[in-house]
């Protein structure tokens, strides 16, 4: 039996600390690839036909009873509409707790920002960043005129969260993904998807979109 390999509609290499956005049509598949390993992808999405309807971290957790998601799970909007379904995942559970990094986060790391373990090398090979996913996604979403305050909290692909139920504390565990790790999501509606190659991790991503 021969296997047909579909040509990618989009095949984009995103250098570390850059972002981009695409409309993925219902039934199409978006693939996020960790090129070198140890990357993080901050992912947000919107209903392409109604940009006010956007991804909800909270509904995605509550509607599935999970604080992290993997293959078989879905990304939901505030109105509980399925936006994307994870159909393939070589990594494991991806984080849904954390907000995105930003210029503010990096400016406040040593003062009043909690949750970073002291062992975490912020910025990866590129060192401490001056801006974060918040600024990267604002730029990526500029063609759709989405206001910064309308960018939802993200789905953190290739990021793992460590929970301490005793202290009610949580912390990011970095460096779990390997080169070539990927996550595939099928669009359940026409979805505007925006991706940031997280400045916190400082590693590139590759994004592909396929017909199915």
Q: Which residues bind Zn ion (CB under 5 A)?
A: 42, 101, 132-133, 198, 200
Question: Min. distance of Cβ 1 from Zn ion in angstroms?
Answer: 42
For residues 122 and 113, is the Cβ–Cβ distance under 8 A? no
Question: Min. distance of Cβ 9 from Zn ion in angstroms?
Answer: 26
State how far the Cα of 50 lies from the Cα of 39, in Å rounded to an integer.
Answer: 31
In the bound state with Zn ion, the residue whose beta carbon lies nearer, of 34 and 47, is 34
In the bound state with Zn ion, the residue whose beta carbon lies nearer, of 129 and 210, is 129
107-111 contact pairs (CB < 8 A, 24+) = none
Question: Min. distance of Cβ 189 from Zn ion in angstroms?
Answer: 26
Place of tokens 């210029």: 103
Closest CA to 80 of 192, 205, 189, 196: 189
In the bound state with Zn ion, the residue whose beta carbon lies nearer, of 158 and 210, is 158
Question: Min. distance of Cβ 95 from Zn ion in angstroms?
Answer: 11
In the bound state with Zn ion, the residue whose beta carbon lies nearer, of 42 and 181, is 42
In the bound state with Zn ion, the residue whose beta carbon lies nearer, of 84 and 133, is 133
Count of helix runs (H) and strand runs (E) in the chain: 3, 15
Question: Min. distance of Cβ 93 from Zn ion in angstroms?
Answer: 18
Which tokens is 147 given? Answer: 């206001």
State how far the Cα of 84 lies from the Cα of 76, in Å rounded to an integer.
Answer: 7
Parallel, antiparallel or unpaired: strands 205-210 and 10-14: antiparallel
């Amino acid at each position: 039996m021969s296997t047909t390999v579909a040509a990618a509609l989009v095949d984009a290499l995103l250098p570390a600390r850059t972002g981009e956005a695409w409309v993925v049509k219902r039934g199409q598949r978006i693939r996020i690839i960790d090129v070198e390993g140890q990357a993080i992808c901050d992912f947000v999405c919107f209903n392409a036909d109604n940009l006010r309807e956007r991804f909800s971290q909270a509904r995605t957790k509550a509607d599935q009873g999970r604080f992290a998601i993997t293959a078989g799970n879905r990304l939901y909007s505030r109105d509980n509409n399925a936006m994307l379904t994870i159909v393939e995942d070589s990594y494991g559970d991806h984080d849904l707790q954390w907000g995105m990094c930003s210029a503010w986060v990096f400016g406040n790391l040593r003062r009043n920002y909690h949750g970073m373990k002291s062992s975490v090398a912020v910025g990866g090979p590129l060192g401490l960043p001056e801006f974060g996913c918040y600024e990267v996604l604002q730029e990526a979403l500029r063609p759709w005129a989405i206001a910064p305050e309308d960018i939802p909290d993200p789905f953190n692909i290739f990021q793992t969260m460590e929970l301490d139920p005793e202290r009610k504390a949580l912390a990011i565990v970095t460096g779990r993904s390997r080169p070539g790790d990927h996550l595939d999501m099928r669009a359940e509606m026409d979805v505007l998807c925006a991706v940031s190659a997280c400045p916190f991790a400082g590693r590139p991503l590759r994004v592909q979109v396929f017909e199915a």
